[in-house]
Amino acid sequence: MPENQRWRDVELTTHDGISLISRIWLPEGDGPWPTLLMRQPYGRAIASTVTIAPPCWWTQHGFLVVIQDVRGQGDSGGEFHGFRQEAADTAVTHRWLRTLPECNGKIGTYGFSYQGLTQLLSQEDVPPPSCLAPAMTGLDEDSHWSREGGAEWWHLGLGWGLQLAALRARRYSDNEAWTTIHHALADGSYLYNGLQLLRTLDPNGMVVRWFDGGKTLLHQPPINWLRQPMLLLGGWWDPHLCGLIDLYERSQAAGGRPELYIGPATHLSWWPGVQNLMLDFFQRHLQNRDSEADGENNIRLWDIGRQRWQFASGSSGGTWSLYSSGLACHELLEGQLIPDGTGAGCVQLVHDPWRPAPAIGGHLSPTPGLVNRVSIDCRSDVATFTSAPLTEPLCLEGRPRLSLTVQADQPGFDLCIALSRVLDSTNCAYQLTTGVRRFRGSTALAPQQCKVLMQPLLTELAPGERLRLSLAAATWPAIGVNPGHSEGLCGPPSIDCQVITLLLYLEESRLDLLPLVLEQATKF
């Protein structure tokens, strides 16, 4: 290790006698310094370097960096219980930080995902940090961490749960358990046996509790913490994006002025320049550098189509209806997406669980991001509705919502939709956003008005391009396959799964866009 990378490990003892181990990275020269804190479960040596610059980079800019192993992980003591343990431990950590002679009293917090939520949870009587930079996170264990539209995150949930279970196995030197988990993740068998592995190897884990219908928590940060300067970093193809937008709304409602950036990012692949964006934020609030972020509009969005940043301007995109004479599943361009019109027709969609429609791209699949989905649109279990070539630019900003009347021949079905930008010249359909909604029970047997929300987006389509809505009854393995009945969890295809026939009644169909950041944009 280079000599200029100075660090030491220190121990903090909590009120209940648990030792929390932190690694403190020291800048050159004499302190005290403003401090950056990250609390994470993956081992303090990693320090979220999968997405964020290493501690030595931050120390070069004059920050003391503290990376802590949360309770029950790394070298810290106690048992790991997930998010519910973090408020008390965050509180004691902040009190301890302010006693360190190397800390000048100015504290910033940073990190993404789990490390994003640990920044926000504390006890009410603890002074807030000077600023916070939570990325790709959310407060609701249900809608921000484990489910969308009532459907469990299958690939993501099992993958993350097994990662945490592997950390537990390593902690207890259980090589057999660790190897079993690693092989299941490497060969893809976790999609079929992952839930049973979780129940066996980490039966008290937070993720298996979510899958098995246990209580999910809606965490409440202290109000005065929400008022602090906050940099919120999200990605169009990150599963926690709606959680981050919800956090923006809560901060604003508390009287804060959060800065929100949503860029061309998946959970683990961020955009160039994001490290300096965070650096500028911390220099402004911890080192009293000049500010350039005090304008009226504090939401900046990456336009997927024009490939550039712009300020948020509100929802746009108009309203659309669906039309088909019945062949939208068998002729790629037969189904129509009609602007400001009236829908008409009925489409029969047959879902075969032996070959469920696959997930691709988006925010929940194993291959997140912007992808060409034309091969999936050509399947006979996918209904497509495509607009005429545009005569002028079309800006889509907000959260797309589809309203549609659907009837099934089985007491359960899923609606899995995607919105794409179609380039006729190259036969490409670039998927922009996706959404899912699960329906179970006898009400599925009668026609019912169904509403499906998609992941938010901002893009501009050029003249000559088309807009396409695609609809299927599965998106495996992003979510489990709906078996067509209410017995047990939806999961991998099995002998118990039924063929499901859906009738899509298009007369009252409607596709519109809700505002990006207003609360009603995330609720039905």
The answer, yes or no, to whether residue 7 has pLDDT greater than 80, is yes
CA dist list (Å): 426 to 292, 374, 376, 483: 42, 11, 16, 37
Average pLDDT, the chain: 95
The answer, yes or no, to whether residue 4 has pLDDT greater than 80, is no
- Residue 301 burial (CB count, 10 A): 23
If you write DSSP's letter for every residue of 139-208 in order, what string do you get?
A: SBTTTTTTEETTEEBHHHHHHHHHHHHHHHHHHTT-HHHHHHHHHHHHHSTHHHHHHHHHHHH-TT-HHH
Cβ distance 299 to 260 under 8 Å?
A: yes
Q: pLDDT per residue over 220-252, tens digit each?
A: 999 999 999 999 999 999 999 999 999 999 999
**C-alpha–C-alpha distance, residues 418 and 420, integer Å:** 6
pLDDT recorded at residue 524? 29
**C-alpha–C-alpha distance, residues 132 and 36, integer Å:** 9
Across the range 412-421, mean pLDDT stands at 98
pLDDT recorded at residue 426? 72
User: Which is nearest to 277 in space by CA: 258, 297, 257, 261?
Assistant: 261
**C-alpha–C-alpha distance, residues 115 and 412, integer Å:** 37
pLDDT recorded at residue 294? 53
**C-alpha–C-alpha distance, residues 245 and 429, integer Å:** 27
**C-alpha–C-alpha distance, residues 349 and 381, integer Å:** 6
User: Which is nearest to 410 in space by CA: 352, 449, 356, 357?
Assistant: 352
pLDDT recorded at residue 422? 97
pLDDT recorded at residue 297? 76
Across the range 479-484, mean pLDDT stands at 98
Higher pLDDT, 29 or 501: 501
The answer, yes or no, to whether residue 160 has pLDDT greater than 60, is yes
pLDDT recorded at residue 521? 37
- 275 phi, psi to nearest 5 deg: -65, -45
List residues bridging with 524 in a β-sheet: none
The answer, yes or no, to whether residue 343 has pLDDT greater than 50, is yes
The answer, yes or no, to whether residue 412 has pLDDT greater than 70, is yes
Q: pLDDT per residue over 62-108, tens digit each?
A: 999 999 999 999 999 999 999 999 999 999 999 999 999 999 999 99
**C-alpha–C-alpha distance, residues 169 and 332, integer Å:** 49
Calculate what percentage of the chain has a pLDDT beyond 70: 97
Q: pLDDT per residue over 440-450, tens digit each?
A: 999 999 999 99
pLDDT recorded at residue 520? 37
User: Which is nearest to 410 in space by CA: 486, 505, 332?
Assistant: 486
DSSP 352: -
pLDDT recorded at residue 326? 98
**C-alpha–C-alpha distance, residues 173 and 169, integer Å:** 6
Across the range 202-228, mean pLDDT stands at 96
Top-confidence range, 262-271, 294-303, 479-488, 509-518: 262-271
User: Which is nearest to 13 in space by CA: 105, 93, 94?
Assistant: 93
Domains of the chain and CATH, by start? 6-141+221-294 (3.40.50.1820), 147-211 (no CATH), 320-522 (2.60.120.260)
